[in-house]
Amino acid sequence: MNQSRPKVRISRALGMPLTRKCVKYFEKRPYPPGVHGRSRKKPSDYQVRLLEKQRLRHQYNISETQLRRAFDDAVRQQGRTGENLLQILESRLDATVHRAGMARTIYQARQLVAHGHFMVDGKKVDRPSYRVKEGQLIEVRERSRVKPPFQVAATGAHVDGPTAPYLSTSLDELKTTVLRSPARTEIPVICDEQLVVEFYAR
């Protein structure tokens, strides 16, 4: 069974491709799945906010519980809650691995982290939700570097241009250091985070 199909259906439901592989399928059918996909009524304000929340959740491949916990943490911080939320999500270890170009997708990043292939400041971390902090070094474990996914990543195959500017990344060494929290303009997610804030604050 083609494993990309479920993500394609999700992509169509969300109105955006979730992976590079989904792009060609999404371009063929850029409307929601189902017999009424092309002729649905205008969504309510609640449905608009719900869709935006779901778009954000799927872009980070996290559960509803994880997103809600991140939102609660964002509310407690100073500054704009929406931007705080995105910065918290970007600080996840799997997201950092993906942004650094050491994984093809967020899905692969989560799997590689969970399988124990990464170290943070010299210690193995296998929790994708682990939050990295400024100054921390994330690198592939020595014995994992010979594995095919990392041999591919070391060539820069997963990045279209420079890696995230808030990270100092050396792909040939399969390591990256967190320099700072990202600015909103540096976070490549398709989302109106204010709608997500309004969804939880309703």
The tens digit of pLDDT for each residue in 37-87 reads 455 567 788 989 999 999 999 999 999 999 999 999 999 999 999 999 999
Please state the rounded mean pLDDT for residues 15-23: 56
Q: Kindly report, residue by residue over 156-188, the tens digit of the pLDDT.
A: 999 987 789 999 999 999 999 999 999 999 999
pLDDT at 20 over 80: no
Look at 142 and 17; give whichever has higher pLDDT. 142
Mean pLDDT estimate for the chain:
87
Q: What is the pLDDT of residue 42?
A: 77
31 or 183, greater pLDDT? 183
Residues 6+ apart with CB under 8 A from 16: 26, 55, 190
Cβ(79)–Cβ(85) below 8 Å: no
pTM metric for this prediction: 0.82
Residue pair 18/59 in contact (Cβ under 8 Å)? The answer is yes
